[in-house]
Amino acid sequence: MDATQDWWNGSVTYQIYPRSFQDDNGDGIGDLRGITRRLGHVADLGVDAIWISPFFTSPMIDMGYDVADHRDVDPSFGTMADFEALVTRAHDLGLKVIIDQVLSHSSDRHPFFTESRASRDNPKADWYVWADAKPEGSPPNNWQSIFGGPAWTWDVRRRQYYFHQFLKEQPDLNFHNPEVQDWALETLAFWLDKGVDGFRLDAVNHYVHDALLRDNPPDFREKTEPDYKTYEMQYPVHSKNRPENLAFMERVRALTDRYEARTLIGEIGEGHFPIERLQEYTGPGRLHQAYHTALMHKPYGAAFFRRQIEAMFADGYAGCPNWAFSSHDVPRHVSRWADHAATPDGFTKMTAALLLSLRGSVCLYQGEELGLAQSELAYDELVDPEGKTFWPDNPGRDGSRTPMPWQADAAQAGFSTSAETWLPVKPPEAARAVDTQSGRDSVLAFYREMIALRARTEALRAGEMTFLDMPEPVLGYMRGGEVLCLFNLGTTPVSVDVESAGEELCAEGAEVAGRTVSLGANGFRLARVA
């Protein structure tokens, strides 16, 4: 692993969802000691870093993204000593450690919020976003919560509304208050001093709200019917993504730069906003990487991928997007795009080769390297508040959060010795356990091969990216002027002519005859041509 200051540029990070990675104490919930026990698997993949989703003190209404103490470990995950041991073990294995930071809001059980809601004149009174009701008692403006309904909840103690962009149990902190900004920076410094190598900043474009509390306008995107989420019916130009937020990004970067070889990854949901906004967050003196969500949704196809990637690098953009196809927040991509798969394994390998040959950095989600599909859960098995609210149109995020399968024939697929786990382990996932994928043709073996190819090939890790004009459904591009990447995103064979077929580096379902490359269903080929 590169130990230089910018090791993160072009890196591959492996996301660990701690509740579901490995249960070490047998209570049915994954924990930090379990992660430490399984780090060898991650290191064997060849990735550069791990990103651990929240493990902080929390009532777990939103599975840890409702933080009640940003500087301590929730007992369900272990102790601070367990975390320190995890960092030491990861570093011994050559893995950098990135942790989530949820700074835009807290739990409503955080001591700061308990104090803030007690009166309008206490020391924490202005640490959250409070506003008076309109004369007739309605909320101060039309802002909507991402999890459904108004983004304002009435509090009888203060007789005011408080703002929450997510659940009502997740009140937003007031980043117009300098004390809040200072507290956030001190929190980052606390974990940097613990030896972490960077942060994934959750909902980083949600930190600052419009101080004037102006109404959001209607969504500018053309629609044929109402959304099931009222949030999607607005253009949230005032409730988030405020330009004032960029000044705080510079403060975060200045703090991080005091430590050697650290990185900042911002979760910047592009959604309603033009790509230029995302680029702003990774401008000079701000965040190092943008965790880009454009490829984590339903749209698919060569034209779509090309359009999203070219837009990211338009106008000479020299920043570093962090691409992902799957995460704990979206359906796993092999299920989301299943209509385009000829065979599950072939499609999984093709999408892996595509993701791992993109310009920028890459994030893999645990189980992706096994070809895990979205787990099918019944309503009474759900714990995610989003799924419970929007069922059945949106079953929520639990299907991508089920436990990691390690041993196909073991109880709970080797995840836990408990008779029950926080989410169930279903037979289709257990059938893809790590111990079933020792063969050279397995999905796991391919991920290791492709990550190793990226690591040793400078053009794939850091080279420029130039798209080639190819007929649908073929996506073609050059990396670093020397590696030709061709992908058949469809389910029928297709042939294309190229200037030079080159020396094959990695391929599945591909044949070459002179300058013609024939790609089978979901076939692909990477070759050195210069």
Give me the catalytic one of 202, 369, 429, 508: 202
Q: Is 202 a catalytic residue?
A: yes
Estimate the crossing angle of helix 443-456 against helix 344-355, to 10 degrees: 20
d(CA 489, CA 300): 9
509, amino acid identity: G
**Number of Cβ atoms within 10 Å of the Cβ of 139:** 17
CA distances from 457 to 10, 173, 440, 461, 524 (A): 11, 44, 21, 6, 18
Answer whether 527's CB lies under 8 Å from 501's CB: yes
Tokens 């130990």 map to which residue? 3
Q: Which of 373, 341, 349 is nearest to 450 (CA)?
A: 349
Give me the catalytic one of 270, 345, 368, 386: 270
Answer whether 248's CB lies under 8 Å from 209's CB: no
Beta bridge partners of 153: 162
Element (H, E) at 466: strand 465-467
Joined tokens for residue 177: 């208050």
Contacts of 127 (CB under 8 A, 6+ apart): 112, 113, 116, 173, 174, 177, 179, 180
d(CA 162, CA 118): 13
Answer whether 238's CB lies under 8 Å from 143's CB: yes
> Where are the extended beta strands (E) located within 95-243?
96-101, 130-131, 152-155, 160-163, 198-201
Q: Is 420 a catalytic residue?
A: no
β-strand 361-365 against 152-155: which pairing, if any?
Answer: unpaired
Contacts for 465-468: CB closer than 8 Å, 24+ residues apart: 465/309, 465/313, 465/358, 465/359, 467/306, 467/309, 467/310, 468/498
Classify residue 84 by burial, with Cβ atoms within 10 Å: 0-12, 13-18, 19+. Answer: middle
Q: Which of 439, 380, 371, 381 is nearest to 405 (CA)?
A: 371
d(CA 404, CA 340): 25
d(CA 150, CA 133): 13
d(CA 444, CA 438): 8
d(CA 222, CA 298): 17
Alpha carbon 34 to its chain centroid, in Å, reads 21
Please identify every residue annotated as catalytic: 202, 270
